[in-house]
Amino acid sequence: MFNFDTAKYTTMNIYDLIVDDKEKIYLDDVLLDDENLIQIQQLIKEYQFIDELSHYNLPVNNKILLHGYSGCGKTTTAKAIAQEIGKPILILNLSNIVSSRIGETSQNIRMLFDKATREKAILFLDEFDQIGKARGNDDKDVGEMRRLVNTVIQLIDYLPQNSILIAATNHPHILDVALLRRFQLKIDFKLPSSTLLDQYYDKIMSNLPTDIKDIDRKYSISFAEAKDYALTLAKSKLIAKLERAKKLETNGE
């Protein structure tokens, strides 16, 4: 059974948990490997030519699963897709709404899908495995989880073409197989290559003095880990530099 304190959420409007993110991110701002970039460019082009595709009864893909390592750009990619397509995006971390009473979770999920449908928006559900776990993984939860997963499957099946579902998970292996089949695109986010990480290091430290941004770079880590590592080192070097300057100034006096 989910261990979750529902008291503070039972009276909360579920829409209050949607992240209000006004940051504009374009596809050029996202560092992607070649395979993922090609798939996402194709998706964006489908929406640019949606009328022409519809003329030939060719449906656009509107159910996308982003999976793989944490901190490798899934959320940033979802924002870029929304910006390039020109749709509003509703961002929600599902760990914030999963309730010990599955019926409440199902109702909350329905409300989110309804809102995305009304607004013809992109619904971005992070930590999707919170509601999509394979039915039967836990004997105590099998009945409740089956009903929740069935609800999600139905909502996905009836999602209109003018709305988009983007789900993200770090654990695709625990998702229900029937649920996985609903996604037309499944994009794997691997740890970035050394080349991509070098581009990322250059980008996040571009405004720093040369002596500060000259650090030993780490590889085989995520973008998020690289950012924390690089900026921590940069701050340490800058503080040491300022302390030396202050000491010299004091001694000069």
The more confident residue out of 204 and 95 is 204
Q: What is the edge-to-edge ordering of all strands in the sheet holding 122-126?
A: 89-93, 122-126, 164-169, 63-68, 185-189
Give 130-172 pLDDT, tens digit per residue: 887 765 555 555 667 788 889 999 999 999 999 999 999 999 9
**HEC readout, 15-53:** HHHCECCCCCCCHHHCCCCHHHHHHHHHHHHHHHCHHHH
Residue 17's alpha-carbon distances to 98, 125, 158, 167, 182, in angstroms, are 12, 12, 24, 16, 26
The pLDDT, as a whole number, for residue 85 is 96
Asked whether residue 73 carries a pLDDT value surpassing 70, the answer given is yes
Instruction: Name the residue with tokens 């460019």.
Output: 41
- What is the arithmetic mean of pLDDT over 207-234? 95
Nearest CA-CA partner of 102 in 139, 153, 142, 154: 142
Reduced to 3 states (helix: H, G, I; strand: E, B; else coil), residue 169 is strand
Least reliable range by pLDDT among 37-46, 74-83, 98-107, 125-134: 98-107
| Range of weakest confidence among 67-71, 130-134, 210-214, 219-223 | 130-134
pLDDT for 253 beyond 60: no
| Residue 68 pLDDT greater than 90, yes or no | yes
Whether 65 contacts 128, CB under 8 Å: yes
Tell me: pLDDT of 115 over 90: yes
- Percentage with pLDDT > 70 across the chain: 89
**pLDDT on residue 247:** 85
pLDDT tens by residue, 3-58: 434 444 444 577 777 887 778 899 999 999 999 999 999 999 999 999 999 999 99
The pLDDT of 210-231, averaged and rounded, is 95
* More confident of the two residues 196 and 3: 196
pLDDT of residue 55: 94
- The mean pLDDT value of the chain amounts to 87
The pTM is what?
0.85
pLDDT at 12: 53
- Range scoring the smallest mean pLDDT among 34-43, 228-237, 244-253: 244-253
